[in-house]
Chains A and B, each alone.
Chain A
């Protein structure tokens, strides 16, 4: 049944949310207009608050409506039909939300609502001007999902559009406008991963958090409170840096686990579009901290805080307008909203920069010249380095934008992204890492002490010597393992070690003073460890699946080419680097059973999601299914069992890289399986399998006439015909009374184990039916052709096929755990810093009068900043 009510309710909520945001923005503006900070017009303020509450309620209503559509499988709606399906587990229904553009906008809107309500509660004094900015942003964002056509201009794209309104040309809707599909097309297989349930909300929370310091900065400029905004904004900036940083690494981890490009970072424009605002956000945190401590770098802080938010908007434009086109694998589909996004971006760029320029002269600058011995100088240089790193990523990622722009003004441009993106980005980002690691150590030491030549030398000596010793040791070890190390790598190794040791030393010193102060040092240890992890795992990532078969198809270019994939025949062991590996069959995931279940014990039925157990399924002592039971399976993914055995240590482990045949996504989607060791990961993925959509090529059937007890060779395997018995597996045949079904029992000895083969012979209404049995392991098929009851002879047809194989790529990633544990430390450090700054902001809410209250109009350029 077509249910239009829920969609109408949802769409109405969107319109309400939009109108309420408009009212809130205007009323908050009026409440604060022409008045000093903290002094508001009570009438306008009441109206504004009411409007924002209505807006919040409407946003929640939109989410509930959309979730109901997905949860109840209402496929009359395009969103449910294109992003979900009947068999989707509930926790992945949440991911459906953000598979589409509209839902991800909704997520972003939702976080703004939550943060907005928190500000209304905790930052009363700043409420009116800050919430005016918030509501203004909400106005734009809700307009993106408005789905209203005014004067032939489409404003926004509604998630509540009916399928028949989306696919208007489909003939079925002309015949029956109330047609509802029985199943949806399903969630993109790559998004069916638990990281995809939590990674997008994390990232969008990070996006939303960048609005807070931006709104405070704008409110500060507007209300001429040019210095006091820093204190309430700083904890939010730190929180944003934490969430966005963690969100980026989560995305990297998802890519590492799910995609098969062989790593965690691909310099894809979508990744870059989040990475560069994060760098600027971290730089802005340093600017704000400098102002809090030394009353310097305020102009820089303004610029960086505003730039962060504008970069987030630019990132949104990049990934959602379709401008990236060929350049990215995972940008969203173009919804024809690029014009709207450009207006959005343009409006904020003009307003924010205009306001900043008009107040620029009034922003206080510090008069003291920074010396080499002031930590502020080095922190400032560190922030600058971060910005330069961000600039490189942004400048290169924008190449498709230049093309689009030049095309727009009529110049044909054929510029493309660098062919070797890794090399291009690495040559700058690596040096950014070197400087960041070094400066983080140096500035951290200087930050907590009075500096002159003597004290600085003293406190640098110990970490300096330890660093050089450690670096020398590592370089020797690398050489010992017959690997080379370029000067750039040595520089990064040395500075990152220095970053770790200097900051660790600082943590121990601060433990004696106050633990709460060490947030910065902890975060910097984390960053330095991440750099070491990246250096080791990316710089020394080692492909162990080199083709060593000696069979090379072409001799054209043999010299320097990498042949990174090996072919593994089923059940045949092959040497690979230090391992012996073998591919031993295809498996399914069966819910409720702790391990994957071999396809060979499952008899597939017409229902894709159900199979019959051909033998008992048990693991350990527990029996999960008896032979003949109906087993629920998840048929999308096939798991390829690959056994590894270390030739030296004899240690063995098993990996199950998976692949999914998916017509819509085009072919085979492979995901890796990773064996984690303390010091390295073994990462393997399938590169290719025999085309599953093609019928197998069977040899011509060869007939054998046998008596019970006979022995024959089948496809080079020794086989015994043991018996003929009534058939066990008749569930799929639909037998009725009077039908006869018998099966033969063969035992075939394969390389590793024995296989029971049961071809079935059926007599039904005097018609003969045959159900052949296949041993995939051996590439063998047996059919029960005929029975000669008088002579007790039985005829069997035997055909063979090429054995199953997989093509595998395997990589060793050394010390990748440093990256993940560094991330956790970084997050911990950010958390400690947030706690510290929140306490400070609360302790002295008003007393913190800044040094320069009435800013002097300075005509001279700032010494720094």
Chain B
């Protein structure tokens, strides 16, 4: 065997290894029902869940729990996934400042007992970059 062949085989082997590791590490978007099933089976890999925050009549978010003077690293909220299943989520970090305004929330983490422990929160705000409205446009002129 020539060296080039050995090298080619090694490269292919590593490339396949890389693909396998990506496939193995890739997470999935699931619903809370599936997240609970996974936890029940003892599968503790982290998943992504997309959801919305429940709001009352005044558009206030219901069920937020953050009391920094007691514990700055404890933030709990309720998230309703796309199948309308509500789930209590805790996040052992300060509450993200733009949390109240977000429309859609993506969390990663896993179910632990009865709560979903999130380690990352990604917020989608209604108009993060494209402005659709002019402030005070009607006031002047």
Interface residues of chain A, those whose CB is within 8 Å of chain B, are: 81-82, 167, 170-172, 176, 179, 181-182, 185, 188, 326, 329, 333, 369-370, 377, 380-381, 384, 388, 391-392, 395-396, 399, 414-420, 423-424, 427-428, 547, 551-554, 556-557, 561-567, 664-668, 670, 687-688, 802, 805, 807, 861-864
Contacts and interface: CB of A to CB of B under 8 A. Distances in A.
B29 A565 contact: no
Closest 9 CB pairs of A and B: A666-B98, A553-B71, A667-B98, A419-B46, A667-B97, A668-B97, A553-B74, A418-B25, A688-B94
A412 to B, nearest CB: 10
A333 B137 CA distance: 24
Nearest to A171: B138
A326 B129 contact: no
A843 B97 CA distance: 62
B92 A82 contact: no
A667 B101 contact: yes
Given A82-B131, A419-B46, A861-B4, A424 B21 contact: yes
Interface stretch (B35-43, B55-63, B118-126): B118-126
21 contacts: A81-B134, A167-B132, A167-B134, A170-B137, A172-B134, A182-B136, A377-B3, A388-B14, A395-B18, A415-B28, A417-B27, A419-B27, A419-B108, A419-B120, A551-B71, A565-B94, A664-B128, A665-B125, A667-B99, A668-B97, A864-B4
A135 to B, nearest CB: 33
Interface in B82-107: 90, 92-102, 106
A805 B69 contact: yes
A179 B136 CA distance: 12
Contacts of A380: 7
B60 to A, nearest CB: 12
Given A181-B134, A565-B72, A687-B72, 9 more contacts: A170-B134, A329-B122, A370-B3, A416-B48, A553-B67, A563-B73, A565-B94, A666-B102, A863-B2
A326 B106 contact: yes
Contacts of A424: 21-22, 25
Contacts of A551: 70-71
Contact of A668 (B26, B70, B98, B137): B98
A241 to B, nearest CB: 22
A664 B29 contact: no
Contact of B72 (A170, A369, A556, A688): A688
B47 interface: yes
Given A172-B138, A181-B137, A547 B98 contact: no
B132 A416 contact: no
Contacts of A556: 90, 113, 115
Contact of B19 (A172, A395, A427, A861): A395
Contacts of A667: 96-101
Contact of A384 (B11, B28, B29): B11
A862 to B, nearest CB: 7
Contacts of A557: 92, 112, 117
Contacts of B100: 667
A547 B131 contact: no
Contacts of A416: 26-29, 47-48, 108
Contacts of A381: 7
A185 B131 contact: yes
Contacts of A553: 67, 70-71, 73-74
Nearest to A398: B22
A82 B47 CA distance: 36
A636 to B, nearest CB: 15
A415 B24 CA distance: 11
Contacts, number: 172
Nearest to B45: A419
Interface of B: 2-4, 7, 11, 14-15, 18-19, 21-22, 25-30, 45-48, 50, 67-74, 90, 92-102, 106, 108-109, 112-113, 115, 117, 119-120, 122-125, 127-138, 140-141
B21 A428 contact: yes
A419 B28 CA distance: 9
B73 A862 contact: no
A565 B73 contact: yes
B131 A562 contact: no
Contacts of B136: 182
Given A333-B129, A418-B26, A419-B47, A391 B98 contact: no
Contacts of B138: 171-172
A172 B137 contact: yes
B4 A863 contact: yes
Contacts of A807: 68, 72, 94
Contacts of B74: 552-554
A369 B29 contact: no
A417 B48 CA distance: 9
Contacts of A384: 7, 11
Given A424-B21, A565-B93, A807-B68, A414 B73 contact: no
Given A419-B46, A567-B69, A369 B26 contact: no
A384 B15 CA distance: 11
A206 to B, nearest CB: 24
Contacts of B45: 419
Contacts of B29: 414-416
A736 B93 CA distance: 53
B48 A419 contact: yes
Contacts of B14: 388
B22 A563 contact: no
A561 B118 CA distance: 12
Contacts of B47: 416, 419
A313 B106 CA distance: 29
Contacts of A420: 25, 46
A554 B117 CA distance: 13
Q: Which of A82, A176, A182, A805 has the most CB of B within 10 A?
A: A182
A312 to B, nearest CB: 22
A378 to B, nearest CB: 11
B68 to A, nearest CB: 6
B93 A392 contact: no
A339 to B, nearest CB: 19
B16 to A, nearest CB: 11
A427 B106 CA distance: 25
Nearest to B117: A557
Q: Which of A176, A392, A419 has the most CB of B within 10 A?
A: A419
B52 to A, nearest CB: 14
A420 B106 CA distance: 15
Contacts of B125: 665-666
Nearest to B133: A170
Nearest to A562: B92
A688 B70 contact: no
A564 B93 contact: yes
Nearest to A662: B98
A511 to B, nearest CB: 34
Nearest to B11: A384
B22 A395 contact: yes
Contact of A417 (B26, B112, B131): B26
Given A424-B21, A556-B115, A666-B125, A391 B15 contact: yes
A758 B141 CA distance: 40
A563 B15 contact: no
B4 A688 contact: no
B98 A414 contact: no
B4 A547 contact: no
Nearest to A325: B124
Contacts of A554: 71, 74, 90
Contacts of B67: 553
B19 to A, nearest CB: 6
A862 B4 contact: yes
Contact of A369 (B3, B97, B133): B3
Nearest to A431: B14
A751 to B, nearest CB: 18
Contact of B30 (A414, A562, A688): A414
Contacts of B140: 182
A369 B2 contact: yes
Contacts of A668: 97-98
